[in-house]
Each structure stands twice: as C-alpha cells, then as structure tokens.
A and B are shown apart, each in its own frame.
Chain A
Amino acid sequence: MKKKIGVYICHCGGNISDYVDVEQVRKAVENEPGVFLAKTTMFACADSNQKEMVEDIAAQHLDGVVVASCSPKLHLITFRAVTERAGLNKYNYVHANIREQVSWAHSDNKPGATEKAIRIVKSAIAKVNRSESLEPVKVSATKAVAVIGAGVAGMRAAIELAEAGSEVYLIEREHFVGGRVAQFDDLCVSTETGKTLVTRLYDEVMKHKHVTLFTGAEVIETSGSVGNFNLKVKVVPRYIELRCKEHQLQDAIDVCPVQVPDEFNFNITMRKAIYHNYPSEYPQLPAIDIKNCTRCGECEKVCENINFDQKTEYLNLKVGSILLATGFDPYEPKRGEFGYGEIENVVTLPQFKRIMHYSKDKLMYRGKQIKHIAYIYCVGSRQVDGENKYCSRYCCTATIHSAVTAKNKFKDIYNYHFNRGIRTYGKQEVLYDESSRKGDIYLQSFEDAPPVVEKKGDKTIVKITDILTNNKELEVEADLVVLVTGMVPRKENSIAGLLKVPKGRDNFFNEIHMKLRPVETVIDGITIAGASQGPKNIMESMNSALSAATKSFSIVNAGELALEPTVAKIDKENCEWCGKCDEACPYSAFTKIEYNGKFIAEVNETICKGCGMCLPVCDTNAIELIGFTDKEVESMIDALV
C-alpha cells in the first residue's frame, strides 16, 4: 500500500466541470487511504500543470499518482511521462476517465455525474495503492524496412528510407512497378506525365544500393513484432531470361494463341499471355502470365530465352518496420449501373484516359469519332443507397483535368459534366474555372435523383433534373458516357489480412488518429501510406509516403525499442496447455512449450499487447495480466460498488 498518493482532478476547461463538481470530488477523495494531496486543475494536460505535477512528485516524494480527466486514449502516455520525468516509475500512475465516461455521458444529471466521478476516482486510488514499478521490455530493432507496393507512394517512401540510412526491401506483387500512375498520361498541377514521374522514381530506386526491389513478389507469412518482423516472400518468376533478343520476343508474343483482357488498359484492349511492359512500367523486361498460359510451347519455338524451368522462390526477410503502400482499385460499376456493360459507349474514367492515350487528332472509340462527352460523377462514391458513403476526393479534379485535356488535344470536343457539386478544393479550383471558361457545361443533380443513361434508337441519351437551371429536365445526346468512378480499397490485399491491419468504416486502412497520427496504425511498427489509407491525389500520396517513411525510419533508427511490460504472464505450475488462450489471442502471442514434463503456454512479450482476451478463457486461472492483476482489479471493483 502507498503512503503518498497525489490526485489531480481536471476541469478540462468546462468539459468536465460544467457537469461534475470537481471540488466536491476532490473533497470526497482527499482522505482516501494513501492520499497525500488532492488538487483540482483547469487543464491537467497543459504544460504549466505538468510542470507543477513534476514539482509535487519530486518535492513531496509521491509514490503514486492519479489524474482524473479525459480518456486514457488521449493522455495516459502524457501523464506516465510526467511521473517518469519526476523520477517515479511510470507504472505507479493510474488514469481515471471522468470525461467520456462521466461528464459527457451524464450531462443531464449533474449530482449523479459527480457521484460517479467520485467512485471512479476512488477506484483509481485503490488501483494505484497496489501498483508496482515495472520495467519496459527492451528489444533491439533491425535497421531495415519492408515497403509493400511499388506504386509512386511506395517507391518514394523506399527512396527516402534508403536516403535516411535504412535498408529497404521494396515488394511489388505485379511484374512491373509504377502502380496506377503508370496508367496515366498528363498529370494535374504539373507538366509531368505518369511515365516521366514513374521513370524518375524507378531510376532512383534502382540506383540506390540500399533498396532491393522484388517484383512478382508477395508476402505470404508474417511473424514477429515491432523491431523484428519476419516476412516470408514468394517470388514468381517471369519465365523469361535476361537479355532476351527483342525481335525474338516480338515473335513469341505474335505466336502466343492466348488472348486475355489487358488490365493495364482496363480491359478495353486484349493482350497475350506473354507480354511486354508499357513504356511507363518497369523493369523493361517481358513476363509470362502463367495463370493464363496454356503451356502450348509455341513461344519457346521462336524465342530461345523463354525458360519454363524457372522456379518460384521463397525468401525470408527480417525488418524492423513495415510500410504499406498497397494503393487502391478503381470502382467497378455494376452491370447496368448507368448503362455500364449494356450500352457500348459507356466507359469508366480510367478507361477514358486510356482511350485518349490511343487517339490521335480525333478522339476515337470503337471506330467512331467522339465529340460530345457526358461525364457522370460520383459513380461508386457518395452512394445514397450503396455502401460507399465516402467522397473519393480526387475524381472531380481528375475528370475536369481529363475533359480539359481532351479539349486541348482533340478537335470538336464538347464536355457535359453531370455532377453532384464540384469539389475542386484548394488550388484545383482554377482548373474548374478554366474548364467553365472553355465552354464546358455543368449540370447538377439532386442527391437522390441521379442522371439516367438510356438508349434511344442508336443514340445514347443522358437525362437530368438540373438544379442549376431551376430544376429543368435536360437531355444530352452523348457519343461517349464517362462514369467517374471513385477509389475503393484493394480487393485482394493479403498482407493486410496477415498483419491484421485495422480498417475503417470505409474499409481503407485505419490510422491511429485521423487528425494527428494519420500514417501510424495501432500495430506498432506498421505504417500506412498513399491511397491504401483513403483516397488521395498524387501530391497527397507523396506527403503521406514521406511521412510514413519518417515514422518507420525513427523506429528502425532507434536501435533499441522499449515495449510495454503490461503483458500476460503464465503461471507455469497451473497452466495445463488447453490452447484456449492461443485461440483467443488476436496477435498470436502464445506458443506451446514443454515444461517439467507437461505442455504449457508461453507468451511472447514483444507480441503481446496486454489486451486481456486470454484471461477469461483460461480454465485454470493460470494467466495474470501485469498491471491489471486480480488484486488490483478486485480492489477497483470494491471501490466502485
């Protein structure tokens, strides 16, 4: 039991004290066993109060500290650091939440709120009376980072990490790097094209001796934790040997009998099972799509560099941190959604960009010249009925940019934008202005009454009730209808499943804190970058990639990491390995080991997060959670009831 506990009760500038009588709370707890001083404070977290706490702890030799304020999610670490600075072991600090759990929850009952606050503070005092000094678990960190995904965000992060001094493994599932940007031509807010941007990033990746690039590579197993992750990587061969002869290769492509839709062109063209990279994709080496290859052997007859004996390889990598830059998928409209898949001249925005890529002078699609283009916005985003409630952020600007580009590049283009309120935020606004000045027509639909695409004879008509012209029913005859499809999370993202990366309600990766910690995840050592975290344009993806690189670097650069000692502990005598703890553990922290002629569970302290899921399932009560021992929790319950 403690003799000198300091208790601080926070007003939170009114957030608490508007509903809880903090002075009454102070009086009610100042004579609790062990309490030496009890104070109230306007903002416990403010620097001035922290300073005062440090002085109190040091001068009065306090042996336990309680702050009653907001959720521990916000400030547990803050006040642990305060006690540590004052020379007291930080595990002698206990946090009482009287804001989220009291003042905000019971704003309709002030006396009740005050009574509840008193009990919560008393239970924290009971816990701190039994707290013990603990030392962190120390692990050394491997100075290497795995970057998953070699789109522009992943490549940029890899370069920065290597420049800062880390070893980098850049792992790309496809045979070619460049991601989505390789599929773009002209880029917004820049004179660059997708090709020039991908090329210079790839060149830098290749020139950096501390970046190792793996293509056709996928992480299939993970273990370990922050500082020391082990990754098993499967690398699929290209089945083509280096320095293949160019003319022979073209012959091999020509003789290949397999035709599959070319995903690079969003299926508007076909490709063979043996195929070359596009100029904006690297490395500049062909590959065989083994999933679709029939092994007919025709290519081998004309090209001596094809080698079907190449084997899938498995590599084991050890890294201190993992940076996920796995990108996005464009939304794939359902069949019949605005005529998609049913009316031949309805395409998506990514397809439209590729159509522009293949057109010269005149914009052509399926042999017909395109003049009148109708863009239908928010397809797959801001869905009133569907699951995707979010805005995809980049599409308004990307569409207007494409429309302006089409107008500049081709003759007789007329653009009609069927939108739901244009969101060209920030400096992108000037592009909207430019397109309006160039004569683009904007029509806006109501949230619940989207435009309709229909076939009238051989004509494709888009109809709208237009907000901007006093709800007039308007029709446009379009040569091409472009569905402005938003960004959705990657459908196939096995690494996220392996690492149990949390996802938000929109199914993109979830950050720790949306405002202040946007690239870190609750899994220590795993950072997220680019559109894997949510829709972003290129510049925003770069900022996020560089931020994630900084965070990953500071982990691996630390040399030694201090992890929380508040983990599960096995009572070896009582444990009779039943495996229930292992099943309950969301982090796979348990292993089965032999001890004194029986099997028991062992906890990997670097993996265990101290979540406590294993405790209630243990039949023999052989698990104790350090920092939340039975005697601590029982004393808290006694104080509460």
Chain B
Amino acid sequence: MPEQKETLEYDVLVVGGGIAGGESALNLANIGYKVLLLEKELTIGGKMILLSKVFPTLDCAACITTPKVSEISRHPNITIFTSTVAKKINKIAEHRFEAVILKKPRYVNVPDCTGCQLCEEACPVSVTDQYQYGLVGRKAAYIPFSIASPRAAAIDIDNCTLCGACERACPTKCIDFTQTEEEYLVKVKSVVVATGFNLFDPLKIPRYGFGKFKNVITSMQMERQLAPTRPFNTILRPGDGKMPDNIAYVLCTGSRDKTVGNPICSQICCMYSIKQAQLLMGALPMADITIYYLHIRAFGKGFNEFYAQAQDMGVEFVKGKVGKITENEDGNLILRYEDIESGVVKEAEHDMVVLSVGVLPNMEISETFENKNLELDPFNFVGQPDILASPAKTSIEGVFVAGTASGPMDIPDSILSGGAASAETTSYLRRASL
C-alpha cells in the first residue's frame, strides 16, 4: 500500500510536463495561479528536450528547451512532481476536482543530489537506456541525461540488485532505499491534460525488419544520434559501428496505414526526416540520403522553403511506398518499393534505414477520469467537442487539453495549443471567483 500523504491544494492540475503542459503551466503561473505539474518520467521537457535540432530554424532543441524547462522549474507558482501519475480524477462540482496522484519512489533525495554521477560509476548493473532509445546502455543508478530537470540520480529498482555500491559511493548520502510510493489527494479547480503522444512501434510491421536487422533504426534513435547529448558523438550504424554513407528514410511508418489501425497522417514525420537529412549531410558530408515518401507535407511556416533547401542540398526524394526490407550478409539493406514516377517496382540498396515512425495517441488519461467521461475522438486522441471556437475544451467542463494529447502536431502548434488551454483555464477559473 502506498503511504498516504497530506492533501494538497492548487488552482490547476496540469498532467504532463512536456512542452505543451509546460507552456500552459507557465502562462497560468504568470497570471498568478498556483499550478501542480505532474510528470510520469524522471524529468520534465517531454520529447522535445530529447531532440537534436528543430525544423525549420535548425535551433538546437536542448538550447531552446532548457531555458523554458528551467523557467518552469524555478517558477514560484509551479510545483513539479516527477515520477508521478494521476491515478484517478473526479469532478465533484464546477471548479472542484479531486485527484489521487501516485508518486513513485526515486530512491534518491533530490535536493541533496549534486549530480556527481559517482553512483553511476559504482553501479555494477547495465541495462539499455530508455532515454537513448536503446542505442546504448546505462546503469541501474543513473542520471537520465545531462540536461534532465531535475538533474538528479534515480535508482531503477526493477533492475537494481540492491548491492549497496551506489550508497557507499554517494558523497552526500542522498540515496535512500527506504522510500516508498506516496499517494496524495489533490484538490484543484481545473485540470489541463497535456499527456502527449506515443511513438509508433515498428515491430508491428515485421516486413520492415526492425528488431531483426540491426541497421534498421527508428527516427527517434537517429534523433538521439544527432543530438548534442548523443551517445556515440558521431553517426554509426548499430550493426557494426560503421559510419553509414547511404541512408534511406521510410516515411509513413505506422501513419496513413489502415493495416496498423492508424489511418491519419502524423503531421511531423516529413519535416523531421527532412531536418535529419540536412543534419546528416552536415555530419556525414559524403553520405547519400534518400527519402521514400508518399506526399511531402511541408505545410507550416517556412516548411516548404526548408523542403526546397533539402532538395538543393542534394537529398534525394523518391515518391513511392516501401513494401519490404531484406538484409544482405554485409548488413546492408535492400528496399523493395513501388517507384510511382516510373510505375514499376524497384529495389535499392542502402547501408542504413531510418523508419520515420508516426504519432499515436496516449490513451491512459481517459481511464483516469472516474465519474465523468473524457471522450476520445475516432482516433483515440482527446476529443474536442467545440473544435472550431474552443479547441482546448473537452467533454468535461473545466478539463482542457493541450498539445499532442488532442492529435498530432509540431512544436509551434503544441505551444499555441498549450496557450489556448491556459487561456480557457484562466477564464474558467475567473468564473469561479465571480
């Protein structure tokens, strides 16, 4: 049984500490509301903090995310709980919500941790690193990544052998194995759902060979290889550590594909693939990059120009759907695809393949609402019953949605959606005080 802690009171509960939830929380805090921000991961910053650079500005994602994250974590009106999920949320009346939240133990006393990483050195356990999307390993005692917020160690208790090496190595004695799950009752006046999205799991398309052929990776793995906090400090193909010189991108992996149950377009994959192609041409000047696409969706501000730039740089765009990927003995990959412009099925060899995986809904949150139904749309994103006039409104009055929880979108659209959620929350809260 989790330890029952005191009841907490805030104006707003924001569920999800990614870029949209963070924007909502900051706007509300700046207006003067007290916000509790929940994040299920060990760090806030969502998926954006893990990216390399962003399209079409090519700003380093870490460089523009860290000040935002830092602003959120320092704001006197924002309280952040990481490793915490909302177990249930009930609407008692208008402007009265009660949530039960569960804070999982980190086994580290965060304020005392200096991030010295001595525990990491001492820990004898190696497992794959989820924040590097399985490209490299990490220890069971670990700091998520260097720009994590909070930048503090955590113990992965599922993989920990309880050998005690980390405790002995820690200079500030901040590791505490007696920590237990804590449950809080939270009373708030309004809720913002900013639970983000899941990436498509390409194991669901066995003909692309992900998981079987080592040189087939996902776009998020490539994102990590290109990021400033990258694991290899260069681009390597995982099969043999060779620097690739002929890379293929397979767009619409898990998007616009009814066979995997996802008929919609993920809205971001074309652009992030074009961005990665441009970055790869900088990192590997001799490499050829080919993008296999159905339609290039370069629709946002500056996007079409960015697409044209990639064409000018020499990125090859092939209009065609990849049907199947097979592997040669040397680890190279053969892509069998329909070349739409010539109307015939062709094969091409590449030494590394990146699957541009799509955006899927994160459906956990709808089950959290107990006495009211948080309706989902036909694609299982959070429904928007008044999508044209009040896109942040949900089926429950006083519960607002921000960012990709309501559908695929890129960073500026997530920021706008986060802003809309904070605006609607503000006027909802003001009605409570009148």
Contact = CB atoms under 8 A, between A and B. Distances in A.
Interface of A: 12-15, 42-43, 45-48, 50, 70, 74-75, 77-78, 85, 152, 156, 160, 163-165, 187, 189-190, 192, 197, 200-201, 382, 389-391, 393, 421-430, 433, 467-471, 504-506, 508, 513-519, 533-535, 538-540, 542-544, 546-551, 553-554, 557
B413 interface: yes
B392 interface: yes
B427 A46 contact: no
30 contacts: A12-B228, A13-B227, A46-B147, A46-B149, A47-B149, A48-B150, A48-B151, A75-B67, A163-B430, A390-B301, A425-B299, A426-B266, A426-B409, A427-B264, A427-B408, A430-B263, A467-B341, A514-B57, A515-B57, A516-B19, A516-B68, A516-B415, A534-B301, A535-B301, A540-B416, A546-B419, A547-B420, A551-B27, A551-B419, A553-B426
B263 A433 contact: yes
A427 B297 contact: no
A189 B342 CA distance: 35
Contacts of B392: 543, 546
A156 B416 CA distance: 14
A549 B415 contact: no
A516 B303 CA distance: 16
B59 interface: yes
Given A389-B308, A547-B415, A550-B423, A430 B264 contact: yes
Contacts of A430: 263-264
Interface in B396-434: 407-409, 411-413, 415-420, 422-424, 426-427, 430-431
B348 interface: no
A373 to B, nearest CB: 21
Contact of A74 (B27, B63, B70): B63
B295 A422 contact: yes
B78 to A, nearest CB: 13
Given A45-B63, A542-B420, 11 more contacts: A13-B62, A47-B150, A77-B67, A160-B423, A163-B426, A189-B387, A424-B265, A515-B412, A539-B387, A547-B416, A553-B423
B146 A43 contact: yes
A14 B233 contact: yes
B413 A540 contact: yes
A419 B56 CA distance: 24
A164 B299 contact: no
Contacts of B228: 12-15
Contact of A543 (B227, B263, B267, B416): B416
Contact of A550 (B27, B62, B146, B379): B27
A47 B408 CA distance: 29
A48 B115 contact: yes
B279 to A, nearest CB: 12
B426 A550 contact: yes
A341 to B, nearest CB: 27
A505 B413 CA distance: 20
A206 B308 CA distance: 46
Interface in B75-118: 115
A474 B104 CA distance: 64
Interface of B: 19, 27, 30-32, 54, 56-57, 59-60, 62-64, 66-70, 73-74, 115, 146-147, 149-151, 227-230, 233, 256, 263-267, 295-305, 308, 319, 340-343, 377, 379, 384, 387-392, 407-409, 411-413, 415-420, 422-424, 426-427, 430-431
A200 B146 contact: no
Contact of B301 (A163, A197, A506, A519): A506
Contacts of A504: 301-302
Nearest to B55: A515
Contacts of A74: 63-64, 67
B233 A516 contact: no
**Lowest 6 A-B CB distances belong to which pairs?**
A547-B419, A13-B228, A163-B427, A470-B343, A546-B420, A48-B151
Contacts of B31: 164, 550, 553-554, 557
Contacts of A46: 66, 70, 146-147, 149, 151
Contact of A546 (B70, B299, B423): B423
Contacts of B301: 390, 504, 506, 508, 514, 533-535
Contacts of A534: 300-301
A423 B73 contact: no
A534 B66 CA distance: 27
Contacts of B308: 389
Contacts of A542: 388-391, 420
A546 B415 CA distance: 11
A45 B56 CA distance: 23
Contacts of B411: 515-516
A425 B409 CA distance: 9
